[in-house]
């Protein structure tokens, strides 16, 4: 019940009336409102809230002793994203605390609920920025210089001066519940799954420069058109990824000066690439870069490629995954890989034993207004998380 009430409260925050999707970019009004909502929910439960200058939050149920069990997720969204990616893990964590208390559980060690900012990297371009800073995988000196699309620096909207979470010392394990972002659980007819690992992935900025010129008077053979170089590179990325059985996407483009009657002077495009191994990722990005550079040579343009956010392979703790997946009414939960990035991957790479619980998504669609999970499956997720936490807190 508490889950459904919270889900109703969250529904209007940052929702676009036309698309039905969410714009919950970090340090904007909707996202700030969500963080205030989380603080209120924690206060209502008597959880003790810690916040850093960035906006990362961890709420503690102080109980027992020793290293804590941490759960939680994120509240920010991609541009025009779904309702579930992130907030499902936060609302489920709060509802799981309610359920544990109803069951009369007294944790033998502390339980924390974490909310990490800018998980999507939708504003400053670095995936899982909040958790990276919280574990020291990125330094504030570097991060403060990151700029959003309007040129605003991270250091101008957030104060990361007190970022010493020492999570790796304080936390014994992390469990993130998340909506599934593919069709694996649908195909297996299972409401709940556990993650085995995350594919390595990265974001690469492709800057193509050419010569701005008149769209009517410049003969076709005289052009140095960066749009052509980009267009061929996008086709090559798709083809190379399909040939290799991997993933490559150009989903963001910036054209200068972006006029209809001029050959552009510059095209900047962002490649998102994901592969089943780090070697395959390097090879795929290398091949796309090679083909783009070759085409630039023919177009009279110049291409430079800059890695903006790279995340290595994540293998979640297999014992922890098996421990959470085993012995449930109706059978063991399936253990499945994912090509989506998560704060769980960052905490795992920082040496914290980590697991993820996935909730079935009937559309298989994510990072889109069509992302969905049925209420019954969300409630199954709350029970699954409560069961998992109870095992870990014993
Ligand atoms: C985040 O959800 C990502 O996979 O990019
Ligand atoms: Mn997410
Ligand atoms: Mn996401």
Q: Write the pLDDT tens digit of every residue in 278-309.
A: 999 999 999 999 999 999 999 999 999 999 99
pTM, rounded to two decimals: 0.97
Q: Take atom 5 of ligand 1 and give the residue whose Cα is closest.
A: 341
DSSP 125-167: S-TTHHHHHHHTSS-HHHHTT-B-TT--BHHHH---TT----H
Strand order in the sheet with 201-209: 247-256, 266-274, 201-209, 302-311
- For residue 1, the model assigns a pLDDT of 64
Contact between 137 and 349 (Cβ < 8 Å): yes
Q: Which atom of ligand 1 is nearest to the CA of 181?
A: 2
- For residue 367, the model assigns a pLDDT of 98
Q: Write the pLDDT tens digit of every residue in 5-38.
A: 999 999 999 999 999 999 999 999 999 999 999 9
**Bond before 257 cis per omega within 30 degrees:** yes
- The residues, ordered by sequence, that sit 6+ positions from 221 with a Cβ below 8 Å of its Cβ are none
Q: Which atom of ligand 1 is nearest to the CA of 272?
A: 5
CA distances from 164 to 112, 118, 133, 156, 179 (A): 16, 18, 9, 20, 29
Q: Give, rounded to a whole angstrom, the gap between the first and last alpha carbons of the chain.
A: 25
Give dist(CA 48, CA 60) in Å, integer.
5
Q: Which atom of ligand 1 is nearest to the CA of 366?
A: 2
Give dist(CA 365, CA 272) in Å, integer.
17
CA of 201 to the centre of ligand 1 (A): 9
Query: Bridge partners of 174?
Result: 70, 354
Fold of 2-199+313-393: Aminopeptidase (3.40.630)
Q: Take atom 3 of ligand 1 and give the residue whose Cα is closest.
A: 341
Tokens 């063991």 belong to 332
Q: Write the pLDDT tens digit of every residue in 340-362.
A: 999 999 999 999 999 999 999 99
- For residue 246, the model assigns a pLDDT of 98
Q: What letter does residue 110 receive in the DSSP assignment?
A: -
State which of 273, 367, 371 you would mutate to test the pocket of ligand 1, scoring each by most atoms of that ligand within 8 A of its C-beta: 367
CA of 45 to the centre of ligand 1 (A): 30
- The residues, ordered by sequence, that sit 6+ positions from 220 with a Cβ below 8 Å of its Cβ are none
Q: What letter does residue 81 receive in the DSSP assignment?
A: B
CA of 156 to the centre of ligand 2 (A): 25
Fold of 201-311: Alpha-Beta Plaits (3.30.70)
Question: Measuring CA to CA, which residue among 133, 128, 295 is closest to residue 203?
Answer: 128
Q: What letter does residue 220 receive in the DSSP assignment?
A: G
48 confidence band (pLDDT: 50, 70, 90): very high
Which regions of the chain carry the CATH code 3.40.630.10?
Answer: 2-199+313-393
Q: Which atom of ligand 1 is nearest to the CA of 119?
A: 1
Q: Which ligand is nearest to the CA of 359?
A: 2
Contact between 90 and 132 (Cβ < 8 Å): no
Q: Write the pLDDT tens digit of every residue in 76-122.
A: 999 999 999 999 999 999 999 999 999 999 999 999 999 999 999 99
Give dist(CA 258, CA 64) in Å, integer.
60
Which regions of the chain carry the CATH code 3.30.70.360?
Answer: 201-311
Q: In angstroms, how far is CA 69 from the centroid of its own chain?
A: 21
- The residues, ordered by sequence, that sit 6+ positions from 294 with a Cβ below 8 Å of its Cβ are none
CA of 272 to the centre of ligand 1 (A): 10
Q: Write the pLDDT tens digit of every residue in 189-206.
A: 999 999 999 999 999 999
């Amino acid at each position: 019940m508490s889950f459904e009430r919270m889900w109703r409260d969250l529904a209007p925050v940052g929702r676009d009336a036309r698309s039905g999707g969410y714009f919950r970019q970090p340090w904007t009004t909707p996202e700030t409102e969500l963080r205030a909502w989380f603080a209120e929910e924690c206060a209502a439960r008597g959880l003790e809230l810690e916040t850093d200058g960035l906006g990362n939050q961890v709420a503690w149920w102080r109980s027992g002793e020793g290293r804590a069990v941490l759960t939680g997720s994120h509240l920010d969204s991609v541009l025009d994203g779904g309702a579930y990616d992130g907030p499902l893990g936060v609302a489920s964590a709060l509802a799981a605390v309610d359920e544990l208390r109803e069951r009369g559980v007294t944790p033998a060690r502390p339980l924390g609920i974490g909310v990490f900012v800018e998980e999507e990297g939708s504003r400053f371009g670095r995936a899982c920025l909040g958790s990276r800073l919280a574990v020291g995988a990125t330094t504030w000196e570097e991060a403060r210089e990151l700029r959003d699309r309007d040129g605003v620096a991270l250091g101008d909207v957030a104060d990361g001066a007190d970022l010493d979470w020492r999570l790796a010392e304080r936390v014994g394990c992390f469990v993130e519940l998340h909506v599934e972002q593919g069709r694996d659980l649908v195909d297996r007819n299972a409401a709940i799954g556990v993650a085995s690992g995350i594919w390595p992935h990265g974001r690469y900025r492709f800057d193509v420069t050419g010569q701005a010129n008149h769209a009517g008077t410049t003969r076709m053979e005289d052009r140095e058109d960066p749009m052509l170089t980009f267009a061929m590179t996008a086709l090559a990325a798709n083809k190379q990824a399909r040939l290799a059985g991997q993933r490559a996407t150009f989903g963001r483009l910036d054209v200068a000066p972006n006029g209809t009657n001029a050959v552009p002077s510059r095209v900047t495009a962002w490649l998102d690439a994901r592969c089943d191994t780090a070697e395959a990722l390097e090879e795929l990005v290398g091949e796309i870069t090679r083909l783009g550079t070759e085409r630039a040579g023919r177009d009279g343009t110049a291409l430079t490629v800059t890695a903006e956010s790279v995340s290595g392979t994540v293998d979640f703790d297999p014992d922890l995954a098996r421990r959470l997946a085993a012995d449930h009414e109706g059978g063991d939960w399936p253990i499945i890989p994912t090509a989506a990035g998560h704060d769980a991957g960052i905490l795992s790479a920082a040496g914290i034993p980590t697991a993820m619980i996935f909730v079935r998504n009937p559309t298989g669609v994510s990072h889109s207004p069509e992302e969905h999970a049925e209420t019954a499956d969300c409630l199954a997720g709350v029970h699954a998380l409560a069961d998992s936490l109870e095992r870990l807190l014993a």
